[in-house]
Amino acid sequence: MATPSRHEAISTLREGQEQLDELLARLSDEDLVKPATIGGGDWSAKDLIGHVAAWEEQALISLAEWRRGEMPAVERPGGPMTGSNAVDAFNARAVEDKRGLPLQEVVQHARSTHQDLLEAIDGLSDEEWLAKAPYQGTDGRDRLLATLLGFLTAAPQRPFGHVFAHLPDLEAYVRSVGSP
């Protein structure tokens, strides 16, 4: 799979967010916080908002670590993405961390995190975007900054397309509440 350009990454992130926002706008606040409505699990639409934001936040954290010449925590042995169920554990922690927050706080945080990520990617030069990691990768392969950020915001086979993996579940929920 070819490495997307910065502009392609931004376009994918924006398109996903626009589709997410369109669906979320069709739900009432009560619908947004109702548990066990997304994906057959215990997530609410609010939890989904926080989940997407957590991964975008992790991309920003990893970018800052990369720029300092550090191996991002998500890449470190023993880091938060170590182990066979590391992604599931990260998701569970991220959702739980935001579950007790008010809806509007989660929404505002998600919006500002998304905007910060778009601005951070847009502010990179093409050389930075395609730069090799300033650390030795644990898998022995060269890692590009674009690849790392694409992984942290990805859906299967779609770098920067994380939101798209969740749209079908959200669409089903919106239909189930009869929203136009």
Neighbours of 144 (CB within 10 A): 15
Mean pLDDT, range 42-63, rounded to an integer: 96
Burial class, 60, CB count within 10 angstroms (exposed 0-12 / middle 13-18 / buried 19+) = middle
Q: What pLDDT does residue 170 have?
A: 97
Q: Any idea what the Cα angle at residue 100 is, between residues 62 and 102, rounded to 5°?
A: 95
| Residue 78 is assigned to a structural domain of this protein | yes
Q: Any idea what the Cα angle at residue 56 is, between residues 32 and 153, rounded to 5°?
A: 100
| Residue 14 is assigned to a structural domain of this protein | yes
| Residue 90 is assigned to a structural domain of this protein | yes
| Residue 16 is assigned to a structural domain of this protein | yes
pLDDT band of 79, cuts 50, 70, 90: confident
pLDDT digits 0-9 by tens, 98-114: 999 999 999 999 999 99
| Residue 40 is assigned to a structural domain of this protein | yes
How does DSSP assign 100-118, residue by residue? TS-HHHHHHHHHHHHHHHH
Q: What is the total count of domains within the chain?
A: 1
Domain limits for position 147: 6-176
- Enter the pTM of the model: 0.93
| Residue 121 is assigned to a structural domain of this protein | yes
| Residue 60 is assigned to a structural domain of this protein | yes
For residues 31 and 34, give the distance between their C-alpha atoms in angstroms, rounded to a whole number. Answer: 5
CATH number of the domain where residue 23 is located: 1.20.120.450
| Residue 1 is assigned to a structural domain of this protein | no
pLDDT band of 121, cuts 50, 70, 90: very high
